[in-house]
Structure 1
Amino acid sequence: MSELCLTLICPPAVEEKMLDLLLLSPNVTFFTSTATAAHGMAHEDLDQTEQVLGRARATKIQVIFAAADKAALLDAIRQQFSGAGLRYWVTTVAETGEIT
């Protein structure tokens, strides 16, 4: 089975809602979330501290899922988070597994 990795850069304001969506999604096999700094954001979208630092606070979420579920997963995210400022990219996963 072919798997993909969806990487999301999520603003703090919608982080919990995004995590809830992923936890309830039947299409998601596994995901992680970590605090991160986002660079290259529009200046007007940053608060004063972020403008001085040149980076925005964000959460990086990486989701592993079956390639066949890509459209359904992205559609669900688009429906709930339109206009929320999410950034994303999708990459192919060469191999996954669990070290036991």
Structure 2
Amino acid sequence: MTDQKVCLTLIVPHRLREEVFDYLAEQSDLVSGFTASHAAGHGGEVRLHTAAERVQGHADQAMVQVIVLQDDSTRLLDRIRVSFAGTRLVYWATPVTDFGIID
């Protein structure tokens, strides 16, 4: 087991936003909290689900970021792959060199 922290970023279609938020909240053994913000998806692989998205030319999405241990990130992704199979969630993990709370 490694103690290297990573920032796991998930790009979530707007229609799955609340479901993913609820799911992550249920994974309390791996996830102590997360940050979410609005994102606009662009590109050939991005699906535009609504008429508004087609007019705007981008997909309304949420970007969710979770700071976890690298091994926990792997376990969390394994769970997400099962629970959200076929949803085309985009993800990446980046090393975190420093993490803390300024009190």
TM-score normalised by the chain length of structure 1: 0.88
Post-superposition shift, 1:41?
Answer: 4.7
Distance 2:45 2:4 in 1: 35
Identity of aligned residues (%): 38
2:40 to 30, 37, 42: 37
Aligned length: 99
After superposition, give the CA deviation of every residue in 1:33-87 in whole Å (9 maximum; x if it has no partner): 11111111546x3123222322100111001111121221001101111111211
Normalized per residue, the structure richer in helix is 1
Post-superposition shift, 1:14?
Answer: 1.3
Structure 1 residues 27-66: aligned runs within 5 Å? 27-42=30-45, 45-46=47-48, 47-66=50-69
**Structure 2: gaps of 5 or more residues:** none
**Structure 1: gaps of 5 or more residues:** none
Q: For residue 78 of structure 1, what is the amino acid of its counterpart? A: R
Counterpart in 1 of 2:18?
Answer: 16
Alpha-carbon distance change, 29 to 69 in structure 1, aligned in 2, over 3 angstroms? same
